[in-house]
Structure 1
Amino acid sequence: MTQVPSFAVVSGQQVAGVLHGREKQVVEVVEAAYRLHGEGRTVNPDSYFLRFPDRPSSRIIALPASVGAPVDVHGVKWISSFPENVAAGLPRASAVLILNDTATGYPMACLESSIISAARTAASAALAATTLAAARAVTPRRAGFVGTGLIARYVHTYLAAAGLSFDEVGVFDLDRGHAGGFAAYLGRAGAGPVRIHDDAASLIAASDLVVLATVAGEPHIHDPGLLAHNPLVLHVSLRDLSPEIILSSCNILDDVEHCMKAGTSPHLAEQRTGGRSFVDGTLYDVLEGRVAPPAGRPVVFSPFGLGVLDLAVARYVLDEVSASGDLMTVPGFFHELKRHG
């Protein structure tokens, strides 16, 4: 007989407890989800944006998705981005994620998801960095971070866990204080020599691995000559680079259709050219050996951020918390369970 699942709530503290120190496992979960997606065993509809006429910089986004076996889960991430939070000392993003039971469709868990979102973003970036570097046979020695918030911190953690170390790390942020805070964190994390740059251009010129993790709504890096030394660029924030830079680079995306919307840099390049011939492939293509990014051109990885990755990581977290015996269920959450009373 089909049973209604219990409904659980997983706190941010529990999420962090599961994910801390398990960066390699999370990268494996994310890679497996990318492979399922590449094999057509996921459903990842368009994201839905709730915007506010009186607060144009803020938005709340719904990312529905479904991941097939062996993950076997469905759900939606509901994530807000309110950049004004930063000035008040709060993280820009907050999120929850609902997982639905496969057999009944009933919601079975609500998880705090800002940590899950940051972890899957960082795991995706680390997977791309190691995969693309190996495909190019080039080991990055100088890293640079444009944007120094929570995502930058997570990306650095995951890059280090993936075995990447650097002779120097550069940081730049429009807020010098934020750059200084991130530089201090990097020092505590043993990142090696850290240099605070006065602008993004000097940082890019000094880096062969560039992490763009800003809240930019439109391109602010315009000159293709800045990438003449052929760096690997993890374009996490998606809207930093001009169409000219995109068109002069080797472009690897996580999902072509999803990246070509919402004013992303690849979307602007598509609008400029009327086509997608500048896209060289997806990360799945590189993982499968179908695409080999060259060492003699800049390589830009632009991940839209797929909901299937969030669901895969959330399922991992839920299973780990359940196995520990610490899963908090809500008795009586589902009440009307008889059709006729």
Structure 2
Amino acid sequence: MSTVRHDSQELTVVPAAVVSRILEGLGKEGAGIVETVYRQAARGELVNPDSLFLRPDPSDRRRAIALPAYVAGETPAMGLKWISSFPGNLDRGLPRASALIVLNDVATGFPRAVLEGARISAFRTALSATVGARALRGGDLAIRRMAVVGTGYIADATVRAMAEQGWRCGSVAVHDLDEERARSFAASHTHGITDTVTVQRTLRATLDDADLVLFATTAVEPYVGEADWFYPGAVVLHMSLRDLTPAAMAGAEHIVDEVSHALREKTSLALALDEGIVQRADITNIGDHLDGRIRRNPSKTAVYAPFGLGSLDIAVAALVLQRALGSEGVFTVPDFSGASTR
């Protein structure tokens, strides 16, 4: 990734079609960005403030989240992701999540660009899962049995990223509260990472004997009851953060992207810490695993629960912007800030 500098006051707008086209060609490069950011996070080299949650009605699942970040290094970038999650959109035939990412010029602070952000967010989340899984499995991309719980956009992006990176499974079991959506997901991924995809009606049957588990739901309260629901030594990609009860987390190793972030907003890990089932000193950062400073015990279940660093969104968005400049479909607003008329 190279620095995008901007000396005028124009604002560049990058819509979804352009973002999607660029992301399709960023597989290995995108994974490299995610790994670099995680290593920086483990070394304390990022400016990554707590995300801010806005809930119009605390009694339902609608929310919007602001994630600001500054990514240091040879190619610095700064900005904000503003992403909403409205699960009711699915009943309207609309995506659950929508987002935009604002990038600022690192020299002047002026707004530099606005990019469609939901696709960037899903892309970096999928790569967060694959990067974490690879590190925690010691580079082994051959899965005996994989379980997918929640078959929406994030699960789809993650499994597609795994297929592109060469992961292969003996079989995949999927489960969703919407069985029709689960069947559609299963059909779309046959012959991607496996020839055998089955839809399971119960959670227990889905998790049974799986050595890699992906949770990508919209759950707000834990529902996975016991630790023995997981195969011994399984890697659990807990991307939705709130699926596991404290009891289900007992005896596992716990890995996050940044500890203080992961213990906010009633995540499963925060609840387990409150109940004394998990000790804060035992929670490790994925960046330390990537650097080899920490190695997991393969006989224990590893629960990887990245809260989601804004730094990832900003770093990926900066690369997308660099590739997008001059592309068809990208447009600019001259003197957006009005600075030249003052």
The reply to whether TM is greater than 0.5 is yes
- The answer as to 2:43 corresponding to 1:43 is no
Moved more, 319-328 or 91-100: 319-328
Moved more, 53-62 or 203-212: 53-62
Look up the match of 2:62. Answer: 58
**Distance change >3 Å, CA 186–CA 113, structure 1 → 2:** same
Q: Once the two structures are aligned, what percentage of the paired residues are identical?
A: 38
Give the alignment of 1:16-35 within 5 angstroms: 16-35=20-39
The CA distance in 2 between the partners of 1:204 and 1:317, in whole Å, is 37
Look up the match of 1:281. Answer: 284
Look up the match of 1:256. Answer: 259
Look up the match of 1:92. Answer: 96
Q: Which secondary structure does the structure 2 equivalent of 1:167 belong to?
A: strand
**Distance change >3 Å, CA 190–CA 242, structure 1 → 2:** closer
The CA distance in 2 between the partners of 1:265 and 1:83, in whole Å, is 20
Q: Which secondary structure does the structure 2 equivalent of 1:76 belong to?
A: strand
Q: Which secondary structure does the structure 1 equivalent of 2:325 belong to?
A: helix
Look up the match of 2:314. Answer: 311
Match of 2:218 among 206, 215, 218: 215
- 1:228 shift after superposition: 4.3
Contact 1:210 1:233 in 2 (8 A): yes
Cα-Cα RMSD: 2.0
- The answer as to 2:149 corresponding to 1:146 is yes
Higher relative contact order (CA 8 A, sep 6+): 2
Match of 1:133 among 114, 137, 149: 137
- 1:87 shift after superposition: 1.5
- 1:39 shift after superposition: 2.5
The CA distance in 1 between the partners of 2:249 and 2:150, in whole Å, is 19
Look up the match of 2:15. Answer: 11
Contact 2:12 2:112 in 1 (8 A): yes
CA displacement, residues 13-49 of structure 1 (integer Å, 9 cap, x when unaligned): 1110001143221111111111222222211111111
Match of 2:74 among 66, 70, 73: 70
Q: Which secondary structure does the structure 2 equivalent of 1:239 belong to?
A: coil
Look up the match of 1:123. Answer: 127
**Distance change >3 Å, CA 80–CA 222, structure 1 → 2:** same
Q: Which secondary structure does the structure 1 equivalent of 2:242 belong to?
A: coil
- The answer as to 2:301 corresponding to 1:298 is yes
**Aligned-partner residue type, residue 133 of structure 2:** A
Q: Which secondary structure does the structure 1 equivalent of 2:107 belong to?
A: coil
The CA distance in 1 between the partners of 2:197 and 2:73, in whole Å, is 43
**Distance change >3 Å, CA 89–CA 189, structure 1 → 2:** farther
**Aligned-partner residue type, residue 160 of structure 2:** T
The CA distance in 1 between the partners of 2:8 and 2:118, in whole Å, is 28
TM-score (norm. length: structure 1): 0.93
- 1:186 shift after superposition: 0.8
Q: Which secondary structure does the structure 1 equivalent of 2:218 belong to?
A: coil
- 1:169 shift after superposition: 0.9
The CA distance in 2 between the partners of 1:75 and 1:24, in whole Å, is 23
TM-score (norm. length: structure 2): 0.93
Give the alignment of 1:172-251 within 5 angstroms: 172-187=175-190, 189=192, 191-251=194-254
**Distance change >3 Å, CA 164–CA 138, structure 1 → 2:** closer
Match of 2:83 among 57, 79, 97: 79
Look up the match of 1:163. Answer: 166
**Aligned-partner residue type, residue 73 of structure 1:** A
**Distance change >3 Å, CA 188–CA 160, structure 1 → 2:** closer
The CA distance in 2 between the partners of 1:277 and 1:261, in whole Å, is 13
The CA distance in 2 between the partners of 1:73 and 1:243, in whole Å, is 37
**Aligned-partner residue type, residue 128 of structure 1:** G
The CA distance in 2 between the partners of 1:170 and 1:21, in whole Å, is 29
Contact 1:77 1:113 in 2 (8 A): yes
Gapped regions of structure 1 (runs ≥ 5): none
**Aligned-partner residue type, residue 8 of structure 1:** T
Number of aligned residue pairs: give it. 337
The CA distance in 2 between the partners of 1:4 and 1:41, in whole Å, is 29
Look up the match of 1:102. Answer: 106
The CA distance in 2 between the partners of 1:112 and 1:150, in whole Å, is 16
